[in-house]
């Protein structure tokens, strides 16, 4: 598409060819956004600002639905900063946290180490649309 003039509206400017980049897919937009550590720091700050008592009650319910912690690891797909994985590890679960963002996993490793659950939580970088975990496992 071609347009006349500049953005300021001056019709005496030469005709400027407009080159549109190829449209980004939703996946591209999300992936680009999640590459930045600041996005994860901001999310974690907002998420942790919520009531710890509320989160404990929520995870008490989740743990009751998941079942016996000895039955095997729990998958936390899209684990982000590993807040959920840590809550499950506190209740005795072994957790596999997977995320597609290296920045999120960097923060997750820090949080897991700080919480003292490195022995209960494994973290992996993977495409969430092509998980290495078998269906039904």
For residue 83, report the phi and psi dihedrals to the nearest 5 degrees. Answer: -60, -45
- Unique residue bearing structure tokens 């939703």: 26
Which domains are present in the chain? 25-125 (3.40.50.150)
Global pTM? 0.64
123: confidence class by pLDDT, cuts 50, 70, 90: very high
Give per-residue pLDDT as tens, 19-73: 566 666 666 666 776 677 777 677 666 666 666 777 788 888 888 888 889 888 9
pLDDT, residue 9, reads 55
Nearest to 59 by CA among 69, 49, 45: 69
């Amino acid at each position: 598409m071609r347009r006349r003039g500049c953005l300021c509206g001056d019709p005496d400017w030469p005709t400027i060819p407009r080159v549109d980049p190829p449209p980004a897919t939703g996946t591209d937009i999300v992936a680009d956004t999640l590459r930045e550590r600041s996005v994860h720091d901001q999310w974690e700050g907002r998420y942790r600002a919520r009531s710890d008592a509320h989160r404990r009650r929520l995870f008490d319910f989740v743990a009751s639905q998941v079942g016996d912690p000895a039955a095997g690891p729990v998958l936390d797909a899209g684990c982000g900063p590993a807040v959920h994985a840590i809550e499950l590890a506190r209740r005795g679960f072994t957790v596999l946290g997977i995320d597609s963002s290296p920045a999120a996993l960097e923060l997750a490793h820090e949080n897991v180490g700080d919480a003292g659950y490195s022995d209960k939580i494994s973290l992996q970088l993977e495409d969430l649309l092509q998980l290495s975990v078998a269906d039904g496992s």
